[in-house]
Amino acid sequence: MFFLSPKPNGIAIKKIYPKVFFSETKYTNFNFPQLTMPKVRFVFLLSAVFCLLVSCNPVYQAATVKYNGYKIMNMRTDSSVQNFLKPYSDSMNSSMNVVLATLETDLEKRQPECTLGNFMADAIFAMAEKKYGEKPDAAFMNFGGIRLPSVSAGLITRGKIYELFPFDNILLLVKIKGDVLQQFLNHISARGGWPVAGMTMQIKNKKAVNVIIGGVPVDMNKEYKIAIGDYTANGGDDAAMLKGLPQINNGYLMRDALIDYATALKKINVQLEKRVSNAE
């Protein structure tokens, strides 16, 4: 191992054995390049200047950001691209335009209860029993997952269901104890109420009261099975009390539940039933 150390009249390269000293004029051992002392000083000076320049680069931040809008006029279409995509678009349009059922009344999204939410909660409740082979005690639909404010009476198509619920959330069965279920009901009560099926409840001071499941008051010690989407079941929408609970999952999509339920009904007539109401 070698290292350089300063000397009064030169540079010494030290080795554990033997010690070798080089004169000021040049290195002459171990095949070192022929470097004079002025050249060594120049290299060190150049390195120092380079480091100084690199370390002193200023950092710039934008003080203001301004956007300009540009209109694209007379955009030319590429017929070859259109011809390539046409079979796919025709197939997609054909699938999305399939009529599933007829809505006999307008469906609307509102809180604490709404006809649109009741339709979706009923679909989750019914299709969970069919797809899992066991009837849930209750079903819940995340109010924020309803993506249309209303659906007008008339023919309802597959494409309309995709507009109503465009997510690939999976319909689960979740095992939940009564006291944790009460926490969840309090949570959705604080948010104004969510669509439910198989149960009724009232909201008072942002808490769930008078909870009836299967015709009887909720039992804090009983284990229930609820049908719900995986997003909420895994703690989404701040439903942290559901995270980690036992789940049954067969990969069945909630959107498919809506499609299958509407197809089976043919005629859809949904009314308000005071499933979720504000306490007097």
CB 279 within 8 A of CB 204: yes
Which phi and psi angles does 108 have, rounded to 5°?
A: -130, 155
Distance CA(109)–CA(206), nearest Å, equals: 20
Q: Which of 273, 138, 275, 276 is nearest to 214 (CA)?
A: 138
| Greatest C-alpha distance within the chain | 105
pTM: 0.70
β-pairing, 199-204 vs 276-278, is: parallel
Report pLDDT for 1.
44
Distance CA(136)–CA(118), nearest Å, equals: 16
Distance CA(212)–CA(214), nearest Å, equals: 7
Q: Which domains does the chain have, with CATH numbers?
A: 2-53 (no CATH), 96-278 (3.90.780.10)
CB 171 within 8 A of CB 257: yes
Report pLDDT for 103.
96
> Exposed (0-12), middle (13-18) or buried (19+): which is 159, by Cβ within 10 Å?
middle
Residue spans of alpha helices (H) in the chain: 37-55, 79-96, 115-132, 158-164, 178-190, 230-233, 254-265
Report pLDDT for 41.
64
Q: Tokens 């000397």, residue? A: 7
Report pLDDT for 264.
97
Report pLDDT for 18.
42
- pLDDT tens figures, 77-127: 777 777 777 666 666 667 899 999 999 999 999 999 999 999 999 999 999
How far is the CA of 174 from the CAs of 41, 261, 279, in angstroms? 76, 21, 28
Report pLDDT for 80.
76
Report pLDDT for 34.
54
User: What is the full per-residue pLDDT of the chain (280 aa) written as tens digits?
Assistant: 444 444 444 444 444 444 444 444 444 444 445 555 555 566 666 666 666 555 555 555 555 555 566 666 666 777 777 777 766 666 666 789 999 999 999 999 999 999 999 999 999 999 999 999 999 999 999 999 999 999 999 999 999 999 999 999 999 999 999 999 999 999 999 999 999 999 999 999 999 999 999 999 999 999 999 999 999 999 999 999 999 999 999 999 999 999 999 999 999 999 999 999 999 7
